[in-house]
Structure 1
Amino acid sequence: MAVKDFFSRNAGIIGAVAAVGLAAGGVAAGVAADRYVRRRRTAADDPHAQEPFGALQSDEQYGVTTSDGVDLYVEVIDGPGPTLLFVHGFCLDMGTFHFQRRAFEGVYREVLYDQPGHGRSGRLPKGEYTLDALGAGLRAVLDKAAPSGKVVLVGHSMGGMTIMALAEQSPELFEDRVAGVVLISSSAGRINEVTFGLPAVFSRFSKPLLPVVRSAGRLTTSMADAARRASSDLAWLLTRRYGFGTEKPSPAVVSYVEKMNSTTSTEVIARYVHTLYTHSRVPALAALRSVPVLVVCGDTDLLLPLAYSEEIVRELPDAELVVVEGGGHVALLEHPAAVNDAMKAFLERIT
């Protein structure tokens, strides 16, 4: 069979596999022995082996329905200070902010929610997910959970892009309601140029496959979900390789991130790819010039490398950039102390 015919007949499957690779943290880079995976998953010296991931308590839980009919799951933790509103990234959920939630509990009021199609939130009834809709969803959560008082928006990866979409739609919020913005491992655009740390030849091969995922049907995506469940060890290795920067990250944290990845269905992933692939909101950053901004990024982030955070800072010359040494894309889980210290200093300064 000719290569061209192979790709034309298997476009949906290839697209789904490409999306799964993105969800796990990149493109496959080899398989280790099962014994090695099991040993790393249960390392005796893991400092977070007993961490209650996904089991933190909140004071309120409720739903917020977006204008396009998605029910968003929201949790609120009461506190005396201004509200911190956390917005998570692609293929994750509010648990991404586990360590930040614990660090600022009792000091600030905290609001967290799951983005559409993620965690405990509902799915879009039909069509593709868009960052414009995510920005509107953030506004709905803001209006319901923090109708008055100052708010600090904290976005990780796609969550930062969601904040940019909100700034594009409602710049007036950043003049009177938003006290500050924290962007962690995010980007204002050019995501189609990400190489995932691969040599240029492989990067050029993989990029054209990402838009193709939009054509993957329900049967194809359900097959991909089954394949993901069957190859959890590979997913764990991919998560560690492409989500983390240190050589030996906490196995418990890697497992937690992999669990968040794996519970995001391939169908949802497929319906997000186009909006992420075409994200371009450098002009929207102008609305952030009226508020203090903290930009945080790991120096070994393969998914949204440091150059993307540096580009944001060039557009926001008054913004503060904190580079986390040895930090990958989930530096806020991998190096929580460094991220929390940066956020604490920033919050104390602006509030």
Structure 2
Amino acid sequence: MSSASRTVRTDDDVDLHVEVDGDVAAPLTVVLSHGFTARLEEWDLQRQALRDRARLVLWDQRGHGRSGWTPLTRATIDRTGRDLGEVLDAVAPEGPVVLAGHSMGGMSVMALARQRPELFGSRVVGVFLLATSAGGLVRTGLVGLGVGALRLLGLLPVYLRLLQALAPLLERLRRRGTAAGRWFTRRYLFGRDDADPAHVREVQALLEQTPLPVTMAFYATLLEHDEAAALSVLGRVPVTVVAATTDRLTPLAHGRRLAAAIGDAELVEVPGAGHCVNLTRPWVVDDALLRLLDRVEARLPGRRAG
């Protein structure tokens, strides 16, 4: 086993932090993409579970973790999809690859499928989508009504620009590790019965490392995200969709729609869990990932089933 870090510079000159781990001689590479305002460390438990099974590639999405920042106009899912493709080309240019994405990371995988469909079924041989959505996240509830009204009035771009303009000031005034921050983390990142206080503090600390200007920049793309056109491309390869039943950020219905639209996807529903299901139910997520690798390897030339 070995672990190494490297930098991938994108075609618009953003440096992406990448780590390579696991069995470097393994025939299969797994590329793990983290979620909104997180960083590659969110996959630590899955990293342990997969080390003996595959070569692992983990990366910090632009503006997150140890990767470089980006102009606001390039803080989009479309751009992170291209970034994922460039990481793939630089660090896993040959051999079969499974792409795994949590939340925004799953959206980046879908964006790549739309942009470069020729990869799926050739280099990309499997996809793991965890607590994510193909679009329409902000259509219901008070937030959905508010965003809908802003769209109707043509004021949504003004609203988003205002948030982005205020973000640097709010970042200077920001206090991390507060009780209010823990309440928000508990409510929106955890489920009905999986909010261990230590886990809540761990996730709060992880998310609060991301500066507010990054958060506000990517918030706009999450509102407009729609990758439904990519789902037929994903259907070319084995896919597993994991959805938590009490996820408030990417609700269960989104996971069910994803699996149905892809077609022959395995849908794993995790009762009582929330958005951080890979932290709070690692045995479920790890098992689902390993089953996907079994399905993928059974299709590889020269590999036996099971």
Relative to the length of structure 2, the TM-score reads: 0.88
Indicate yes or no: 2:154 matched with 1:204: no
Q: CA deviation at 1:267?
A: 0.8
Q: CA deviation at 1:125?
A: 3.9
Work out which of the residue numbers 251, 270, 282 in structure 2 matches 1:324: 270
Indicate yes or no: 2:61 matched with 1:120: no
Work out which of the residue numbers 11, 22, 29 in structure 2 matches 1:67: 11
| Counterpart Cα distance in 2 of 1:143 and 1:272 | 24
Taking the TM superposition and a 5 Å limit, the aligned residue runs for 1:75-114 are 75-79=19-23, 80-114=26-60
- Which residue of structure 2 aligns with residue 348 of structure 1? 294
Q: CA deviation at 1:145?
A: 1.0
For the 8 Å contact 1:214–1:273, the answer to whether it is kept is no
Q: CA deviation at 1:172?
A: 0.6
Indicate yes or no: 2:241 matched with 1:241: no
Pair 1:70–1:316, CA change in 2 (3 A): same
- Which of structures 1 and 2 has the bigger CA Rg? 1
- Which residue of structure 2 aligns with residue 216 of structure 1? 163
Deviations 1:287-346 (A, max 9, x none): 111101000010100011011111111211201100011110110111111111111122
- Which residue of structure 1 aligns with residue 200 of structure 2? 254
- Which residue of structure 1 aligns with residue 224 of structure 2? 278
Pair 1:217–1:275, CA change in 2 (3 A): closer
| Counterpart Cα distance in 2 of 1:300 and 1:216 | 28
Q: Secondary structure at the match of 1:245?
A: coil
- Which residue of structure 1 aligns with residue 119 of structure 2? 173
The CA RMSD measured in Å over matched residues stands at 2.0
Where do 5+ consecutive residues of structure 1 fail to align? 1-56
Deviations 1:60-92 (A, max 9, x none): 101001112211000000312411100111111
Q: Secondary structure at the match of 2:193?
A: coil
| Counterpart Cα distance in 1 of 2:135 and 2:239 | 18
Indicate yes or no: 2:204 matched with 1:266: no
Q: Which structure has the higher relative contact order (CA within 8 Å, separation 6+)?
A: 1
Pair 1:58–1:227, CA change in 2 (3 A): farther
Taking the TM superposition and a 5 Å limit, the aligned residue runs for 1:121-140 are 121-140=67-86
Pair 1:201–1:161, CA change in 2 (3 A): closer
Q: How many residues align?
A: 289
| Counterpart Cα distance in 1 of 2:117 and 2:62 | 23
Pair 1:349–1:172, CA change in 2 (3 A): same
Code of the residue aligned with 1:214 in structure 2: it is: R
Code of the residue aligned with 1:215 in structure 2: it is: L
- Which residue of structure 1 aligns with residue 153 of structure 2? none
| Counterpart Cα distance in 2 of 1:179 and 1:314 | 19
Q: Determine what percentage of the aligned residue pairs are the same residue.
A: 41
Where do 5+ consecutive residues of structure 2 fail to align? 151-155, 298-306
Code of the residue aligned with 1:259 in structure 2: it is: A
Q: CA deviation at 1:128?
A: 4.1
Q: CA deviation at 1:236?
A: 1.4
Deviations 1:215-254 (A, max 9, x none): 2355x22332244315622111210111011435232322
Code of the residue aligned with 1:213 in structure 2: it is: L
Relative to the length of structure 1, the TM-score reads: 0.77
- Which residue of structure 2 aligns with residue 19 of structure 1? none
For the 8 Å contact 2:27–2:95, the answer to whether it is kept is no
Q: CA deviation at 1:285?
A: 0.9
Taking the TM superposition and a 5 Å limit, the aligned residue runs for 1:11-90 are 59-79=3-23, 80-90=26-36
Q: Secondary structure at the match of 1:95?
A: helix
Pair 1:248–1:312, CA change in 2 (3 A): closer
Q: CA deviation at 1:143?
A: 0.8
For the 8 Å contact 1:228–1:235, the answer to whether it is kept is no
